[in-house]
Amino acid sequence: DVTVALVQDGDGAEHEHTSNADLVARCSRNVGVQADVTLAKYLADHISDEASLPDAIILPGGLEGSRAMSKAPAVGELLRHYQNSAKIVAAICAAPTVFAAQGNLFAGRRLTSYPAFKDTLNGAGYAWQEPEQSANGRVVRDGNLITSMGPATSFDFALTVGAALTGQETAEKVASAMLYKWPH
């Protein structure tokens, strides 16, 4: 079983989260999603140590949603639990800025984001990269940290997360069933 926390805090998250959640769910029929619960309540009820963390946390893109997550103490608390964990942390578009806003979490790591945030992230101590068109598309992976640039890269992002959670072969089968050539 795979448990994924898809963080949505505020109304500003763009529709990138829909494709990400759908593709990750397709990679594993046993993905647990808990809807309609606040992050603060989830943390209080479920998170006591690394073993109790979901297998992945996904921060969806979108400027307003990322601004809201940047100001949410519960998001910072959850990310701090993941900082020294091997479990997957994934962010797309503007969402990597949440790491910097929540105390430069994951500083020094390689990542990418929507290009407008390159200088902000480099200035905060991250190694921002323009992802090369690689086998997994325009995605930067540094250990357990998976980041991508924006809406046009969301399929590659979600399939990379799915592969990290359920295996490359499963993600390739999902891509094939969607008539999407992945890896490229």
What domains are there in the chain, each with its CATH number?
2-177 (3.40.50.880)
**Alpha-carbon span 123 to 29, nearest angstrom:** 41
- What confidence tens digit (pLDDT) does each residue in 50-63 have? 777 888 999 998 99
pTM: 0.83
Could you list the active site residues?
Answer: 93
**Alpha-carbon span 21 to 60, nearest angstrom:** 9
- What confidence tens digit (pLDDT) does each residue in 82-107 have? 998 999 999 999 999 999 999 999 99
